[in-house]
Amino acid sequence: MQDIQHYIQENKDKFLTELLDLLRIPSVSADSKFKADVRKAAEFICEKLKTAGADSAEICETAGFPIVYGEKIIDAALPTILVYGHYDVQPADPYELWNSPPFEPVVKEEKIYARGSCDDKGQVYMHLKAFEAMMATNTLPCNVKFMIEGEEEVGSDNLGTFVKSNKEKLQADVILISDTAIIANDIPSIDVGLRGLSYMEVEVTGANRDLHSGVYGGAVANPINVLSKMIASLHDENNHISIPAFYDDVVELSGEEREAMAKTPFNLEEYKKDLDIDEVRGEKGYSTIERASIRPTLDVNGIWGGYIGEGAKTVLPSKAFAKISMRLVPDQQSDKITELFTKHFESIAPEGVKVKVRAHHGGEPYVTPTDSIAYLAAEKAMEESFGKKPVPTRGGGSIPIVALFEKELGLKTVLMGFGLDTDAIHSPNEHFGLFNFYKGIETIPLFFKYFSEESSK
Ligand code: BES
Ligand code: MN
Ligand code: MN
């Protein structure tokens, strides 16, 4: 592997310059204002796949944003790795909290600051450059397929259809994704779990119009007061979610599994310090690591209604709204939880208001087996590049499409991510360490090598 590591060293600056170009494209999938830019990012990825040496790369149209598909088949008898990632990014709002503009990337203190630098353009780009390096040094040991989508941040609505109608094309032996984090740069880890998701929106309506809060206040239900109370009732005093049957399908970890988890390196003091909080808060009886990985959650993501302009306006609003997400764990099912939430939320509405509940996207949880060839290959690859064996960890985020890959393609996924939890993904000042970017590029070819070697045994 001497050659390839040499190639990577020689091309470091070029890799970075190209990534910064990609980061300049504001490919925000949630906001229609950026529609043309999302497509531009797809074209950029497609072009780079071609120049890196793919046999073919194409922009596959969907009902939404396109999927970039590319492949290099060196021998049908060899194993095939399917790389998945996303080129779309979260909205950059609120812009005023960024220290430098989100789509004008800067490198500061060894970190790349830009929306998407870590989630997931920076990590997708590691794969493209690792592929380029393997091609340039004639060391690609197996077949590779790339499927890079543009709707991950908005629920991957059209990827399911694409997968279902392209099963032949997507045939592979394993799926490899870099869209998660390691514990620290000197504590490599591999995410072996993702949480599922049910995302809801609720609307509470009181009177048919906004009212004078002096003339009507106290006599008519205030939808914001009511909604606040309804939301507050969704957790009990132990921070347990109070929706009936919510926990019915939750798999409880064994004492042994929890003990193993408690050994995962984690510094509570540093965690609190990083977030500038004096205490953590969550479900009674579980550690912070457990609360953020193997336990389900319910959180308000946004809440609005009434007057929020400058000064004071005395008004009793007609409506109040909230967006609520629930993170799910095995064996909870998104559809079932969505239904439980809907029924419960409607049932707790007091007289005097009308409640509407609407479901946004959802997704199922996923757990990666740690005894597969692919997991062992990732472990060996990271051990070699970091000089330390990676620890398996359960992650708290969601990549809903992973469970669907298993269902539709019968493929397991390895989540070999290189970000850090502190990279501020989805947040102002998102960044990605240069160390992490280059470490990813170095590690991916090792995964290819060990996966191919182990598969042929
Ligand atoms: N890359 C994240 C998921 C992630 C982050 C997993 C960190 C593990 C650790 C992904 O882009 C994401 O943000 N997913 C969404 C779900 C989607 C349906 C909007 C999420 O988790 O909120
Ligand atoms: Mn992501
Ligand atoms: Mn994301």
Per-domain residue ranges for the chain? 2-194+365-455, 197-250+296-363
- Residues 213 and 451: their CA atoms lie apart, in Å, by 67
Query: Widest CA span of the chain, in angstroms?
Result: 81
For 197-250+296-363, the fitting CATH number among 3.90.660.10, 3.40.718.10, 3.30.470.20, 3.30.70.360 is 3.30.70.360
Q: What letter represents residue 381's amino acid?
A: A
Contact 55, 134 (CB under 8 A): no
301 class by beta-carbon count within 10 Å (0-12 exposed, 13-18 middle, 19+ buried): exposed
Place of tokens 């390196």: 265
CA atoms within 13 A of residue 390's CA, in its CB half-sphere: 31
Q: In angstroms, what is the span from residue 399 Cα to ligand 3's centroid?
A: 8
The single-letter code of the amino acid at 398 is S
Radius of gyration of the chain (CA): 23
Reduced to 3 states, what is the DSSP secondary structure of residue 153? helix
Give CA–CA dist 180/405, Å, rounded: 17
Residues with CB under 5 Å of ion ligand 3 are 119
CA 307-313-315 angle, 5° bins: 70
Ligand 2 centroid, distance to 170 Cα (angstroms): 21
| Ligand nearest to C-alpha 413 | 1
Q: Is pTM, for the whole model, over 0.85? A: yes
For ligand 1, atom 13, the nearest C-alpha belongs to 153
Ligand 1 atom nearest to CA at 199:
18
Ligand 1 atom with the smallest distance to the CA of 395 is: 8
Report the distance separating Cα 234 and Cα 202, nearest Å.
13
From first to last of its 457 residues, the chain has per-residue pLDDT tens of 569 999 999 999 999 999 999 999 999 999 999 999 999 999 999 999 999 999 999 999 999 999 999 999 999 999 999 999 999 999 999 999 999 999 999 999 999 999 999 999 999 999 999 999 999 999 999 999 999 999 999 999 999 999 999 999 999 999 999 999 999 999 999 999 999 999 999 999 999 999 999 999 999 999 999 999 999 999 999 999 999 999 999 999 999 999 999 999 999 999 999 999 999 999 999 999 999 999 999 999 999 999 999 999 999 999 999 999 999 999 999 999 999 999 999 999 999 999 999 999 899 999 999 999 999 999 999 999 999 999 999 999 999 999 999 999 999 999 999 999 999 999 999 999 999 999 999 999 999 999 999 998 8
Nearest residue CA, atom 19 of ligand 1? Answer: 153
Residue type, 333: Q
CA 191 / ligand 2 centre spacing (Å): 13
Cα–Cα distance for residue pair 171/128, rounded to 1 Å: 20
CA of 358 from ligand 2 middle (Å) equals: 25
Using the atom order of ligand 1, give the atom closest to the CA of residue 90: 13
Question: 138: CA distance to ligand 2 center in Å?
Answer: 30
Instruction: For tokens 């399908």, name the residue.
Output: 249
Q: Rounded to an integer, what distance in angstroms lies between the CA atom of residue 128 and that of residue 441?
A: 9
From 190, 398, 415, 421, give the residue whose CB has the most ligand 1 atoms within 8 Å, as the site to mutate: 398
Closest atom, ligand 1, to C-alpha of 191: 8
Give the E-state strand segments of 21-79 in sequence order.
56-60, 67-72
Q: Which atom of ligand 1 is nearest to the CA of 195?
A: 21
Cα-to-centroid distance, 152 and ligand 2 (Å): 7
Question: From the alpha carbon of 426, which atom of ligand 1 is closest?
Answer: 13
Closest CA to ligand 1's atom 6: 397
Fold match flag (2-194+365-455 vs 197-250+296-363): no
Nearest CA to ligand 1 atom 8: 397
The number of the ligand 1 atom at minimal distance from the alpha carbon of 154 is 19
Q: How far is the CA of 120 from the centre of ligand 2 (A)?
A: 5
pLDDT of residue 457: 83
Which CATH superfamily, name and number, covers 2-194+365-455? Zn peptidases (3.40.630.10)
What is the CB < 6 Å shell around ligand 1?
Answer: 119-120, 152-153, 155, 179-181, 191, 194, 197, 361, 363, 395, 397-400
Q: How far apart (Å, rounded) are the C-alpha atoms in residues 456 and 4?
A: 22
CA of 50 to the centre of ligand 3 (A): 26
Closest ligand 1 atom, CA of 361? Answer: 18
Compute the distance from residue 398 Cα to the ligand 3 centre, in Å: 8
Which tokens belong to 316? Answer: 């009793």
From the number of C-beta atoms within 10 Å of its C-beta (0-12, 13-18, 19+), residue 78 rates as: middle
Rounded Cα gap, residues 422 and 21, in angstroms: 24
Q: How far is the CA of 87 from the centre of ligand 2 (A)?
A: 9
Best of 88, 178, 179 to mutate for ligand 1, by most ligand atoms within 8 A of CB?
A: 179
Which of 399, 415, 422 gets mutated to test ligand 1 (max ligand atoms within 8 A of its CB)? 399
